[in-house]
């Protein structure tokens, strides 16, 4: 365990479903991130949160909706997804936005949209 | 959370040999670089980092070399072991307003006995 926990590990959902991905860290970090990892592209930064405030929305479609209720938890709410959204979704955290000694990643949620 | 990389370049080495994985980064203003290792079923894990004021840094069995002139980064793994089989990513720290990591495409390392 890295200290960043993601649930569920695997998720299959239909295009009309609504689901949520959860990320939790107890490292005392103040910044959290969502990345998408697919076969066609390198790790893509989706969202950045610092002290529960979103600081970046990297041109992500509105069918992905992040939520950061506190500095330890990050959610990614999913609705009306497309098959091309199938990917591995990785959560990461860091001390803060100015502390770049790398990110700590979770193990990811493997999402399949059918 | 296995690495998704059906189209990744692959480096195949024999157990015990040295491995060199290369990476070209994009931003000449990047000031910090990291190598990550991603094994099947796991997220990326930190291996070694280097700041732009250095050109070489050594860890346990790993060495990172930085050539800022040609924007090139390499990871050298000594005496490669089967447990080193994974996908390796380089990442550069881009300070566009705040610091964030931009990742390369990755290289799959396959170690054969």
Q: Between B3, B46, B104, which is nearest A102 by CB?
A: B46
pLDDT at B12 over 70: yes
Does any CB of chain A come closer than 8 Å to the CB of residue B13?
no
Distance between CA atoms of A106 and A32, rounded to whole angstroms?
11
Q: How many CB atoms lie within 10 A of CB B81?
A: 12
Contact state of A105 with B45 under an 8 Å Cβ cutoff: yes
Does any CB of chain B come closer than 8 Å to the CB of residue A93?
no
Torsion sign (Cα): B63, B16, B89, A99: negative
Give the least confident one: A8-17, A59-68, B7-16: B7-16
Q: How many CB atoms lie within 10 A of CB A64?
A: 19
Mutate to test the interface with B, among A5, A9, A23, A37 (most CBs of B within 10 A): A37
Residues A59-63, mean pLDDT to the nearest whole number: 92
In tens, the pLDDT along B47-98 reads: 999 999 999 999 999 999 999 999 999 999 999 999 999 999 999 987 766 7
Instruction: Specify the pLDDT at position B3.
Output: 38
In tens, the pLDDT along A85-100 reads: 999 999 999 998 875 6
Q: Chain B residue with minimal CA distance to A43?
A: B103
Query: What is the pLDDT of chain A when averaged over all its residues?
Result: 91
Q: Which one is predicted more confidently, A81 or A51?
A: A81
């Amino acid at each position: 365990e890295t200290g960043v926990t993601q649930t569920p590990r695997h998720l299959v959902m239909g295009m009309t479903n609504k689901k949520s991905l959860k990320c939790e860290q107890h490292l005392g970090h103040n910044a959290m991130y969502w990345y998408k990892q697919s076969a066609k592209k390198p790790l893509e930064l989706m969202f950045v949160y610092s002290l529960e405030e979103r600081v970046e929305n990297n041109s992500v479609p509105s069918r992905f909706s992040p939520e950061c209720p506190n500095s330890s938890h990050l959610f990614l709410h999913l609705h009306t997804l497309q098959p091309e959204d199938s990917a591995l979704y990785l959560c990461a955290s860091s001390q803060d936005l100015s502390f770049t000694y790398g990110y700590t990643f979770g193990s990811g949620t493997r999402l399949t949209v059918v | 959370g296995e690495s998704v990389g059906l189209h990744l370049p692959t480096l195949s080495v024999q157990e015990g040999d040295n491995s060199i994985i290369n990476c070209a980064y994009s931003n000449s203003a990047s000031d910090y670089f990291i190598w990550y290792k991603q094994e099947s079923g796991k997220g990326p894990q930190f291996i070694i980092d280097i700041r732009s004021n250095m050109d070489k840094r050594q860890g346990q069995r790993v060495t990172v070399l930085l050539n800022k002139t040609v924007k090139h980064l390499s990871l050298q793994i000594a005496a490669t072991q089967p447990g080193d089989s994974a996908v390796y990513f380089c990442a550069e720290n881009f300070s566009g307003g705040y610091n964030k990591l931009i990742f390369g495409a990755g290289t799959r390392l396959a170690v054969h006995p």
